[in-house]
Amino acid sequence: MKTVFLLAFIGIIGALGAAGLFMLKNSSGSDKSKRGPNMARALALRVGISVALFLFILFSYLMGWIEPSGLPMRQ
């Protein structure tokens, strides 16, 4: 389960980095027409992975695969 979460977080960070790279790449160059769609695609991928991770966490909780542990209470 931890591996799935780790891979999802790596995918989210990777898509965010790709969007930043597309934003900075060719910012002063002549071909600015490719920058916008590539950056938007990378950001849409990041949002999609984030939503999928959230839904997977909810599904895992409902199936009983994960349980909330909470914080220990001091007495």
Check: CB of residue 57 under 8 Å from CB of residue 1. no
Kindly report, residue by residue over 39-70, the tens digit of the pLDDT.
889 999 999 999 999 999 999 999 999 888 87
Q: What is the pLDDT, as a whole number, of residue 30?
A: 57
Kindly report, residue by residue over 5-37, the tens digit of the pLDDT.
999 999 999 999 998 888 887 666 556 666 678
At residue 10, what are phi and psi to the nearest 5 degrees?
-65, -40
Cα distance between residue 39 and residue 34, in whole Å:
9
Indicate the residue type of 25.
Answer: K
